[in-house]
């Protein structure tokens, strides 16, 4: 009787071990759900105060994406048959959060991009919820799909460093914090090399970015690990040409503005 119980116990135990093993295999396969796992909090990039701004006007060969007049070069990301519906007044675009992301009508590959942005002086909120927007150098789908250079009020506003202004979102912190204070205009000058793909969809060469904020180098030929993701690891997915997209972030803070946007195809 004792031997029989012992055997029965062993069988039950080994069964439990197998099922526990299966459970952990399954857990391993489940997609990541915790956004905090890809946050990096140190080292904090040093603050560099930019010199007096010299905003760069579009050169002769640029495609002007916004010259202060209208959104004729832009459509709604959610419905690309619809014109972009952000607010244009006094020569600037202000994000309309109820209308979602907007993107260029044209598709691009490699380019130089100039764009100016301003966090409003009356901005409230903290961390990622303070003047959040973003510039997607390539929009590879709806929503926030693509490759985001972060726009945020990072002037005396702490957040994970790979999510502050000038970061390649959740991949690279900026080399320095070159932010101006809310209420002042800032510029990004970006050189973007699109990723290249093989016929079978595999990656041939990664995307690269060099970027300046207010004339200061913040990304130096950084090699992207894939599309920027809020949750989980970046991966690449084949595309050829893509729109440039601006983010209407869902946070509750006051919307920011853009002006003087132009691109030179390379």
- Of 162 and 247, nearer to Mg ion (C-beta) is 247
Q: In the complex, which residues of this chain contact Mg ion (CB under 5 A)?
A: 132, 134, 247
Give the dihedral of Cα atoms 71, 248, 110, 225; nearest 10 deg.
-170
Report whether the peptide linkage leading into residue 18 is cis, meaning its omega lies within 30 degrees of zero.
Answer: no
Within 13 Å of residue 19, how many CA atoms lie on the same side as its CB?
A: 6
DSSP class of residue 48?
Answer: -
- Tally of CB atoms within 10 A around 172: 22
- Of 62 and 159, nearer to Mg ion (C-beta) is 159
- Of 170 and 180, nearer to Mg ion (C-beta) is 170
Work out how close the CB of 76 gets to Mg ion at its nearest, in angstroms, rounded to a whole number: 18
- Of 223 and 251, nearer to Mg ion (C-beta) is 251
- 8 Å CB contact between 88 and 254: no
Task: Give dist(CA 138, CA 128) in Å, integer.
Answer: 22
Work out how close the CB of 48 gets to Mg ion at its nearest, in angstroms, rounded to a whole number: 22
Give the residue nearest to Mg ion (CB): 134
Residue 122, CA distances (Å) to 49, 131, 256, 262 in order: 21, 10, 10, 28
Work out how close the CB of 199 gets to Mg ion at its nearest, in angstroms, rounded to a whole number: 33
Work out how close the CB of 148 gets to Mg ion at its nearest, in angstroms, rounded to a whole number: 6
Work out how close the CB of 70 gets to Mg ion at its nearest, in angstroms, rounded to a whole number: 25
- 8 Å CB contact between 130 and 251: yes
- Tokens representing 10 are 């062993």
Closest by Cα among 87, 84, 90 to 104: 84
Work out how close the CB of 151 gets to Mg ion at its nearest, in angstroms, rounded to a whole number: 6
- Of 62 and 157, nearer to Mg ion (C-beta) is 157
- Of 62 and 119, nearer to Mg ion (C-beta) is 119
Per 3-state DSSP, what percentage of the chain is helix, strand, and coil (rounded to 5)? 15, 30, 55
Work out how close the CB of 253 gets to Mg ion at its nearest, in angstroms, rounded to a whole number: 12
- Of 100 and 134, nearer to Mg ion (C-beta) is 134
């Amino acid at each position: 009787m004792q031997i029989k119980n012992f055997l029965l116990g062993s069988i039950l135990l080994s069964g439990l071990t197998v099922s526990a093993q299966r459970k952990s295999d399954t857990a391993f396969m489940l997609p990541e759900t915790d956004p905090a796992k890809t946050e990096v909090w140190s080292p904090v990039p040093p603050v560099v105060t930019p010199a007096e701004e010299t905003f760069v006007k579009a050169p002769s060969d640029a495609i002007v994406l916004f010259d202060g007049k209208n959104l004729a070069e832009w459509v709604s990301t959610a419905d690309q048959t619809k014109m972009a519906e952000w607010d244009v007044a006094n020569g600037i675009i202000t994000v309309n959060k109820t209308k979602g992301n907007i993107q260029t009508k044209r598709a691009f590959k490699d380019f130089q991009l100039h764009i100016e942005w301003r966090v409003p002086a009356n901005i409230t909120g903290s961390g990622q919820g303070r003047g959040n927007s973003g510039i997607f150098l390539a929009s590879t789908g709806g929503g926030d799909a693509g490759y985001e250079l972060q726009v945020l009020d990072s002037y005396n506003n702490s957040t994970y460093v790979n999510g502050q202004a000038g970061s390649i979102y959740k991949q690279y912190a900026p080399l320095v914090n070159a932010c101006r204070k809310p209420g002042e205009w800032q510029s990004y000058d970006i050189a973007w090399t699109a990723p290249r793909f093989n016929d079978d969809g595999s990656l041939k060469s990664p995307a690269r970015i060099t970027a300046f904020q207010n004339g200061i180098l913040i990304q130096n030929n950084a090699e992207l690990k894939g599309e920027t993701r809020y949750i989980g690891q970046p991966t690449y997915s084949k595309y050829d040409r893509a729109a440039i997209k601006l983010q209407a972030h869902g946070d509750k803070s006051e919307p920011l503005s853009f002006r003087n946007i132009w691109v030179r195809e390379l």
